[in-house]
Amino acid sequence: MIRVLGVDPGLTRCGVGVVEVAADRRARLVHVTVVRTPPDMALEQRLVRIAAGVGAAMDEFRPDAVAVERVFAQANVRTVMGTAQAAGLALHAAASRSIPVTLHTPSEVKAAISGYGNADKKQVATMVARVLGLAEAPKPADASDALALAICHAWRVGAPTEAGARAVTLTPAQRAWREAERSVVSRRLGG
């Protein structure tokens, strides 16, 4: 059993979701929330509020691991700086509490959840609801994205074990995805 806290970083809406995932991959919802800050608030006050909200969830739910969405500079330049800053605060909040923290790309999350790296937001939200046994997908999208990150982390990385082995098994889709990743790495290494 691993408890993972996922963060979908953002200045206006920062999704925070906590799940517990068993070794047989079954997952249950522990907590989900969205930290919001008004666009007309001073940037530094927004950052203080986001760090406080994310940190409070870490303190209350004491996750074994934190997963944060990797932000790319290629995205909308108007919002990407704030998103990077929110992600940085989430990384800092986890590391300063000695909680292991990992970045996952949006395609890693989509592939882990739906078996398909280009799944759209609605497909991801539907799969999150199904995986967690919820009647409907948590809203807004930032909430279900944070849960998807947490589930993705548990399924891909699993609980830390003494031998460093993976503590969870993979679905066929995830196995295919991991094989594809490995072949990319081998090709890069000239293998």
Stretch that binds its own copies, among 36-44, 105-113, 132-140, 170-178 (CB under 8 A): 36-44
Q: At what angle do helices 106-114 and 141-156 cross, to 10 degrees?
A: 80
Q: Does the annotation mark 64 as catalytic?
A: no
Q: Does the annotation mark 8 as catalytic?
A: yes
Q: Is residue 88 within the footprint of its own copies (CB under 8 A)? A: yes
Q: 5, 19, 47, 157: which one contacts its own copies (CB under 8 A)?
A: 47
Q: Does the annotation mark 120 as catalytic?
A: no
Rounded to whole angstroms, what are the CA distances from 153 to 93, 102, 120, 139? Answer: 18, 8, 19, 20
Q: 25, 28, 61, 84: which one contacts its own copies (CB under 8 A)?
A: 84
Q: What x/- string results for residues 56 through 75 when contact with its own copies is judged by CB under 8 A?
A: ---------------x-xx-
Q: 1, 23, 45, 183: which one contacts its own copies (CB under 8 A)?
A: 45
Q: How far is the CB of 83 from its own copies (least distance, A)?
A: 9
HEC readout, 7-68: EECCCCEEEEEEEEECCCCCEEEEEEEEEECCCCCCHHHHHHHHHHHHHHHHHHHCCCEEEE
Q: Which of the residues 90 through 149 are near its own copies (CB under 8 A)?
A: 91-92, 94-96, 101, 103
Q: Give the DSSP letter of residue 70.
A: P
Count the site residues for its own copies by CB under 8 A: 26
- Any idea what the Cα angle at residue 127 is, between residues 81 and 116, rounded to 5°? 70
Annotated catalytic residue: which of 8, 20, 108, 145? 8
For its own copies, which is the closer residue by CB, 14 or 132? 14
15: left (phi over 0), alpha (psi -120 to 50) or beta: beta
Instruction: Give yes or no for a contact between 15 and 143, defined as CB atoms under 8 angstroms apart.
Output: yes
Q: Would you call 147 exposed, middle or buried from its count of C-beta atoms within 10 A (0-12, 13-18, 19+)?
A: buried
| Binding-site ranges for its own copies (CB under 8 A) | 42-45, 47-48, 51, 71, 73-74, 77, 80-81, 84-89, 91-92, 94-96, 101, 103
Residues with active-site annotation: 8, 69, 142
